[in-house]
């Protein structure tokens, strides 16, 4: 039996900001505490001098975000590339990666978490360590982008190891399948 662990796109859009905002606020506060507003504002002024380059890097990051989902599921979930689908949800204006087959919940969770870690937390921490507000803003943006992923991890927080997870084809989340019921 499949247990639905998903929310609609409209519900998800409300929860995404709530799920990611605490991470963004804490990271930003650490940066400001460590380096002050002056360093941050210098970096933002540098950013504003190159708006096209900035937009291109953020758009490329959105594509890489979805590729990281798919590649992590492919390799950690032992899935062939033919079952990983990439696309655009035009109604929600969102890129997506979708695995069409169930996989172990651990591999699924790692696939959900990796873009937020690699494109969000890692650059933000690097920005904090080096006083580079460009890395910080990139990391904060992609931490916000990972808000849906944080929501999915929250929905799966009580799912036990050994369960199978099937990505939901139209909603934010997944189905949980007990392999003993099959």
How many independent structural domains does the chain possess?
1
Range of the domain at 163: 2-181
User: Is 176 a residue whose pLDDT tops 70?
Assistant: yes
Q: What is the pLDDT of residue 45?
A: 79
Q: What is the pLDDT of residue 75?
A: 95
Neighbours of 178 (CB within 10 A): 13
Q: What is the pLDDT of residue 63?
A: 96
Which range (48-52, 63-67, 71-75, 86-90) has the least confidence?
A: 48-52
For residue 19, give both structure tokens. 């799920």
SS (H, E, C) 154-182: HHCCCCCCCCEEEECCCCEEEEEECHHHC
User: Is 150 a residue whose pLDDT tops 90?
Assistant: yes
The whole-angstrom separation of Cα 12 and Cα 54 is: 27
Give per-residue pLDDT as tens, 69-125.
Answer: 999 999 999 999 999 999 998 887 889 999 999 999 999 999 999 999 999 999 999
If one compares 158 and 40, the residue with the highest pLDDT of the two is 158
Give per-residue pLDDT as tens, 121-144.
Answer: 999 999 999 998 889 999 999 999
Q: Are 177 and 108 in contact (CB under 8 A)?
A: no
């Amino acid at each position: 039996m499949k247990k639905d662990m998903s929310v609609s796109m409209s519900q998800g859009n409300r929860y995404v900001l709530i799920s990611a905002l605490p991470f963004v606020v804490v990271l930003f506060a650490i940066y400001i505490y460590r380096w002050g507003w002056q360093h941050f504002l210098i970096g933002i002024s540098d950013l504003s001098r190159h708006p096209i380059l900035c937009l291109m890097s953020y758009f490329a990051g959105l594509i890489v975000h979805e590729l990281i989902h798919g590649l992590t599921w492919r390799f950690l979930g032992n899935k062939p590339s033919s079952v990983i689908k990439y696309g655009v949800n035009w109604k929600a204006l969102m890129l997506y990666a979708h695995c069409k087959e169930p996989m172990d919940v651990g591999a699924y969770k790692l696939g959900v978490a990796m873009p937020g870690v690699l494109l969000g937390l890692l650059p933000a921490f690097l920005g904090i360590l080096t006083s580079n507000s460009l890395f910080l803003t990139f990391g904060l943006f992609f931490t916000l982008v990972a808000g849906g992923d944080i929501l999915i991890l929250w929905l799966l927080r009580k799912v036990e190891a050994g369960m199978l997870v099937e990505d939901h084809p139209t909603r934010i989340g997944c189905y949980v399948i007990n392999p003993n019921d099959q």
